[in-house]
Amino acid sequence: MTRYSRYIPTDFAERTSDYTRSNDRFGGMDSYFAHDDDGKAIAMANIATYRPTDSTVMRTYDPNTATETAIADGQRAHDTNLEDHPSWHEGLTRPALSGEQLVMFGHNHTPARSGVHELYARDTLSGKTAAMTLMGMADMASTVTTGRPLKPSSSLSAHSMALVDKLHQSGAISDEDMPDPSSMNDDNGITFHYANRQLDGHPYNNQLKSQDLTSRIPLARARIREAMGRGPKAQARPEQLKFEGFE
């Protein structure tokens, strides 16, 4: 039977559960592993969690004249469309429209998020299935600790690109959380051979404390089936477990 665990780094020994937010000011990293009966790692996921941040800017900057202007001295409004129209040099603000509320300073809030940093699986059915189960477990933890689903990595292999795109089409990944389109066209070159070498270097049998995640297997797999647009297990066919490699 495959054993699922989260390994607890010494520096975060007080975090006995991934349902507990890290006290690290930069967030933290959770390492999820799946081991076979021989203790061999068959899948691994490193999940990065970033704490919420707030940015306040008091002045705008004109790169053409290299001058700064106090936002309070101008007719400016809060810029709510930062992704499509980056405005950091404008102090997170934009020229106000007629009758629009003026602001004294620019402000941007970035909520806490958890995202996939690394994900490896062996080129076997058990390895690929374990990797998907780990994703279900990590997504559950992300929802509890940040209130938002797990965000995919922007560095993807060819296998991962296909799966992320499929999850996007099923509605499991929002447009907002999708990697930049340009990165979806660039294979990061990670192969199953590379994944095997990474997994061979991380047996982690007795090196660190661990959190047993075995009890989460049913919920994690149900979460993945739902994300893939598939029905309950009772309605699923065996071939539905043959996921694309997601390393």
Cβ 55 vs Cβ 22: under 8 Å: no
Q: How far is CA 46 from CA 66, 109, 115, 135, 229, in A?
A: 42, 25, 9, 10, 25
Please tell me the predicted confidence (pLDDT) of residue 84: 55
pTM: 0.75
Please tell me the predicted confidence (pLDDT) of residue 22: 67
> Running along the chain, 247 residues long, what does each successive block of 10 average in pLDDT?
87 80 71 92 91 87 88 87 67 89 88 89 93 93 90 77 78 77 66 89 67 94 84 39 34
Cβ 192 vs Cβ 122: under 8 Å: yes
Please tell me the predicted confidence (pLDDT) of residue 173: 80
Please tell me the predicted confidence (pLDDT) of residue 5: 93
